[in-house]
Amino acid sequence: MRDAMSSIFGRLGWDALPFWSMLHDHSAMTIINGIIATGAASMVVIGALAAIVLVTWLGKWKYLWSEWFTSPDHKKIGIMFIVIALVMLARAIIEAVFMRAQQAVGLDGGFLTAEHFGQLFTTHGTIMVFFMAMPFLTGIINYVMPLQIGARDLSFPVLNQVSLGLTAAGAALVMISLVLAPFSIGGWTGYPPFTELSYNPGAGVDYWIWAVTLSTLSSTLTGINFAVTIFKKRAPGMKLFRMPLFTWTALCTAILMIFGMPPLTVATGLLALDRYLDFHMFTTDLGGNMMNYVNLFWAFGHPEVYILILPPFGIFSEVFATFSGKRIYGYKLLVIATMCIAVLSFTVWLHHFFTMGQSAHINAAFGIATMLIGIPTGVKVYDWMLTMYRGRIRLSVPMVYAIGFIMLFVLGGMTGIILATPSVDYQVHNSLFLVAHFHNMLIPGLLFGMLSATNFWFPKAFGFRLEERWGYRAAFCWIIGFMLAFFPLYVLGLMGMPRRSVAYFEPQYLPWMITAGIGALVILCALLCLLIQLWVSIRDRHANNVFAGDPWDGRTLEWAVSAPPPEYNFPVLPEIYSIDAFMTEKDRGQGWQAPDRYEDIDMPANSALGVVVAVTGLAMAFGLVWYMWWLVIGAGLLTLVAVIARGFVRQTTRTISASEVQRTHEHWLEQVRRTTPIKRSHEQSTANHGLPVPPIEGAVQ
């Protein structure tokens, strides 16, 4: 009987339930932690059930299946990526609040066990990097980039579905680990030998390995998809040096994904071989060498940092230009700076382990390379400031994020230059100084970029503006909350507090820790403001509709179509003559025109492959974590069969007739004609229906 059970359930037993230990050990600590873990697990279960009940009650399963899950439309896939990112963001912020709360009362103890705290910082880091940041930027690029280059879709729409499926499976695995615990306590970097089987025999590290591996595969495929799309699918006349800056950064990010993700695949793959097949790559005995893992991990880790930060650079370039009413300053310089950053990002990975023991001259070489990256980044900052200089600046919500970014990011960059000096790094490595530094890069950089982009492009995607009052509140909560939560960590780091400490015994730390805790609460408020903003915006969607498609007097091609855009994006592919293609059209009075002739449009047909890969990928990963080999083999074979079967499908496109395109387009043009144009100063009022006054009557160009 026991054998039969274990061949079905592997090593999964009752003790995986989060309240199990609480039933056997009645100490106060166990009960408190058990309650917290059970609360988190029930939130996952209740959330999932509520979603299922809601969809069933509304009778929307068929709609979801045919319009979303099986849709190859890059816009819908982009939105689904962002939905995953937002759900995971909420979880990771709540975890952060718990960690800050623990440390605020952590003098001589606190309420969390070291084990629980370890899981919190591991999941927080893993989620924020792989399941918040990556899906968020992938989603935004997915949505915006094809519109910006005048394409109808990505080069490989079905591959795009597969990427989404893999990310969804990874995110689901991390969520499941709350219910069938535990997750890894090895940190988001998962350094061996601590994560080897001999020190961590449980399922935790395996959850981490497979969640990260799924995400890595997804990002590699996404990178290929983006790069090929940008190389091969640009509209006629869109030369490389006419592409919008966001597309440029998308291209560089895609290239970094293609070449930066493989090292992580190698690292986690080898760690898995160590854990599953008794290899000795990173073990402490029999000729293993854990330094190889550190080297491989950061050979991924540093390009990854720029994968995360380049798209926000592109977003801010668009935002600064649009809301300053000016052409971006130094377009070519910004492009070249982006390319320099992309290449240099492969030459600096050793600065993540200056203290591992290599010779000083190696540290010096990588330290210098690290500081060199400051140069192109500095060029960018000056370009953005010069874009604002003498512009008619409108302090819209995206712009508030952008200005918050530019000031805080420069501060973070400065501390980065400090850390790039190996001798200084020896003093502050593994301390909270480092934690403060990379949060200072990633929150004002990445997260503000994503939120700025959401506020900027949301009207394009859904046809109505996001409400601004709550938007400002969220933005200011983010900026203030960030400063309160992370500036104290610089001080604590310099005082010598190590990162990832569950408790401490230095009373001087306490005031700073409490400040940081308050900051975390302000960030929680920011999250609430975002939710309220979304709610209020949906409530007022009719008053704020911008169907005409150009609410901010935009400059690039995505603003030239209706909001939301039709499935095929452009009724006929546009011809491009300059950068800021749409602004040029508007200058010449050629915006919102009907083409001479409509043609049938071939669009990719729906496919279930993405869903199949999501399900089988999750099943395989889950089986691997709990040693359910039948599940691994079954799901693996199913994936293979599905992929082969897809090769036999010949009905891969669906035709939209010219008359339907014409009807849709002329309906939109008719609506545009009925819309009253507004001046830029009125863009936040309900008068804004997405049509700006012609440039000559508006602000200076």
Partner 1 sequence: MSARPLNEQQARECKTEQRSYLWGFLLALVLTLIPFALVAFTEIERLTLWITIGVCALAQVVVHLRFFMHITLARNKREDLLLILFTVLILVILCGGTLWILFDLYQRMLPGMMP
Partner 2 sequence: MSSRNTHSLEGNSRHPGLNLGPAHAQEEDTREEMVFGFWVFMMSDLIIFGLLFATYVTMLGGTAGGPGPKELFEMKSAFIETMLLLTSSFTFGMASLALKYREDKTRLVFWLVVTLLLGVAFLFFELKDFHTMFDKGGVPSRSGYLSAFFSLVPLHGLHVTGACIWLLALLGQMTVHGLDAPVKTGILRLAILWHFLDIVWIGIFSLVYLGGLS
Residue type for position 206: D
Per the annotation, the verdict on 71 as an active-site residue is no
Between 294 and 399, whose beta carbon lies closer to partner 1?
294
Q: How far is the CB of 625 from partner 2 (least distance, A)?
A: 21
Residue 656 DSSP one-character state: E
Give which of partner 1, partner 2, none residue 358 binds (C-beta under 5 to 8 Å, depending on kind).
Answer: partner 1
- 124, 234, 394, 439: the catalytic one is 124
Do 249 and 296 touch, CB atoms closer than 8 A?
no
Between 167 and 220, whose beta carbon lies closer to partner 2?
220
In whole angstroms, give the CA distance from residue 416 to residue 118: 26
Between 53 and 649, whose beta carbon lies closer to partner 2?
649
Give which of partner 1, partner 2, none residue 228 binds (C-beta under 5 to 8 Å, depending on kind).
Answer: partner 2
In whole angstroms, give the CA distance from residue 329 to residue 660: 41
Task: Give the closest residue to 163 by CA, choosing from 205, 222, 212, 204.
Answer: 222
Q: Which listed range, 178-186, 229-237, 473-481, 619-627, lies at the site for partner 2 (CB under 8 A)?
A: 229-237
Between 281 and 451, whose beta carbon lies closer to partner 2?
281
User: Does 195 participate in binding partner 2 (rule CB under 8 A)?
Assistant: no
Do 185 and 115 touch, CB atoms closer than 8 A?
yes
Per the annotation, the verdict on 27 as an active-site residue is no
Give which of partner 1, partner 2, none residue 349 binds (C-beta under 5 to 8 Å, depending on kind).
Answer: partner 1
Do 570 and 627 touch, CB atoms closer than 8 A?
no
- 123, 317, 501, 639: the catalytic one is 317
User: Does 190 participate in binding partner 2 (rule CB under 8 A)?
Assistant: no
Task: Give the closest residue to 19 by CA, choosing from 38, 36, 46, 33.
Answer: 38
Q: Residue 120 half-sphere exposure, CB side, CA atoms within 13 Å?
A: 24
In whole angstroms, give the CA distance from residue 471 to residue 685: 14
Contact residue for partner 2 among 220, 387, 421, 537 (CB under 8 A) = 220
According to DSSP H, which parts of 389-467 are helical?
397-419, 422-428, 432-441, 448-462
Residues 373-402 that bind partner 2 (CB under 8 A): none
User: Does 265 participate in binding partner 2 (rule CB under 8 A)?
Assistant: yes
Task: Give the closest residue to 689 by CA, choosing from 591, 551, 557, 562.
Answer: 551
Per the annotation, the verdict on 188 as an active-site residue is yes
Per the annotation, the verdict on 74 as an active-site residue is no
For residue 554, give both structure tokens: 């935009």
Contact residue for partner 2 among 292, 508, 664, 701 (CB under 8 A) = 292
User: Does 285 participate in binding partner 2 (rule CB under 8 A)?
Assistant: yes
Q: How far is the CB of 647 from partner 2 (least distance, A)?
A: 6
Q: How far is the CB of 393 from partner 1 (least distance, A)?
A: 39
Q: Sketch the per residue contact string, 293 through 322, with partner 2: x for CB under 8 A, - otherwise.
A: ---x--x-----------------------
Give which of partner 1, partner 2, none residue 233 binds (C-beta under 5 to 8 Å, depending on kind).
Answer: partner 2
Q: How far is the CB of 263 from partner 2 (least distance, A)?
A: 6
φ, ψ at 509 (rounded to 5°): -70, -25
Q: How far is the CB of 259 from partner 1 (least distance, A)?
A: 5
Contact residue for partner 2 among 16, 31, 43, 228 (CB under 8 A) = 228
* CA-CA-CA-CA torsion sign (510, 511, 513, 518): positive
- What is the separation of C-alpha 650 from the centre of its chain, rounded to a whole number of angstroms? 34
User: Does 269 participate in binding partner 2 (rule CB under 8 A)?
Assistant: yes
Between 359 and 651, whose beta carbon lies closer to partner 1?
359
Identify the H or E element spanning 372: helix 360-388
Per the annotation, the verdict on 73 as an active-site residue is no
Residue type for position 385: M
User: Does 648 participate in binding partner 2 (rule CB under 8 A)?
Assistant: yes
φ, ψ at 566 (rounded to 5°): -65, 160
Residue type for position 196: E
Per the annotation, the verdict on 75 as an active-site residue is no
- Helix, strand, coil share of the chain (percent; to 5): 70, 0, 30
Using only C-alpha atoms, the chain has a radius of gyration, in whole angstroms, of 25
Per the annotation, the verdict on 302 as an active-site residue is yes
Do 651 and 632 touch, CB atoms closer than 8 A?
no
Q: How far is the CB of 227 from partner 2 (least distance, A)?
A: 6
Give which of partner 1, partner 2, none residue 47 binds (C-beta under 5 to 8 Å, depending on kind).
Answer: none
Q: Which listed range, 114-122, 279-287, 468-476, 568-576, lies at the site for partner 2 (CB under 8 A)?
A: 279-287
Q: How far is the CB of 71 from partner 2 (least distance, A)?
A: 20
User: Does 3 participate in binding partner 2 (rule CB under 8 A)?
Assistant: no
* CA-CA-CA-CA torsion sign (637, 643, 647, 653): positive
- 377, 454, 616, 639: the catalytic one is 377
Q: Residue 151 half-sphere exposure, CB side, CA atoms within 13 Å?
A: 26
Task: Give the closest residue to 653 by CA, choosing from 609, 604, 608, 606.
Answer: 604
CB burial class (10 A; 0-12, 13-18, 19+) of residue 681? exposed
| Torsion from C-alpha of 18, 22, 23, 27, nearest 10 degrees | 170
Give which of partner 2, partner 1, none residue 21 binds (C-beta under 5 to 8 Å, depending on kind).
Answer: none
Contacts of 90 (CB under 8 A, 6+ apart): 527
- 242, 380, 394, 665: the catalytic one is 380
User: How distant, in Å, are the alpha carbons of 8, 11, 518, 628 from that of 3?
Assistant: 9, 11, 52, 13
Q: How far is the CB of 156 from partner 2 (least distance, A)?
A: 6
Per the annotation, the verdict on 219 as an active-site residue is yes
Give which of partner 2, partner 1, none residue 650 binds (C-beta under 5 to 8 Å, depending on kind).
Answer: partner 2
Buried b (16+ CB within 10 A) or exposed e, 221-257: bbbbbbbebbeebbbeebeeebbbbbbbbbbbbbbbb
User: Does 644 participate in binding partner 2 (rule CB under 8 A)?
Assistant: yes
User: Does 647 participate in binding partner 2 (rule CB under 8 A)?
Assistant: yes
Three-state SS at 185? coil
Give me the residues that bind partner 1 (CB under 8 A), please: 231, 255, 259, 263, 287, 289, 291-292, 295-296, 299, 343, 346-347, 349-350, 356-359, 362
In whole angstroms, give the CA distance from residue 695 to residue 693: 6
Three-state SS at 55? helix
Per the annotation, the verdict on 317 as an active-site residue is yes
Q: How far is the CB of 260 from partner 2 (least distance, A)?
A: 9
Per the annotation, the verdict on 218 as an active-site residue is yes
Q: Which listed range, 7-15, 268-276, 448-456, 551-559, lies at the site for partner 2 (CB under 8 A)?
A: 268-276
Give which of partner 1, partner 2, none residue 274 binds (C-beta under 5 to 8 Å, depending on kind).
Answer: partner 2
Contact residue for partner 2 among 148, 225, 247, 455 (CB under 8 A) = 225
Between 263 and 314, whose beta carbon lies closer to partner 1?
263
Q: How far is the CB of 286 from partner 2 (least distance, A)?
A: 4
User: Does 233 participate in binding partner 2 (rule CB under 8 A)?
Assistant: yes
In whole angstroms, give the CA distance from residue 235 to residue 224: 19
User: Does 642 participate in binding partner 2 (rule CB under 8 A)?
Assistant: no
Active site residues: 124, 153, 188, 218-219, 302, 304, 306, 317, 351-352, 377, 380, 499
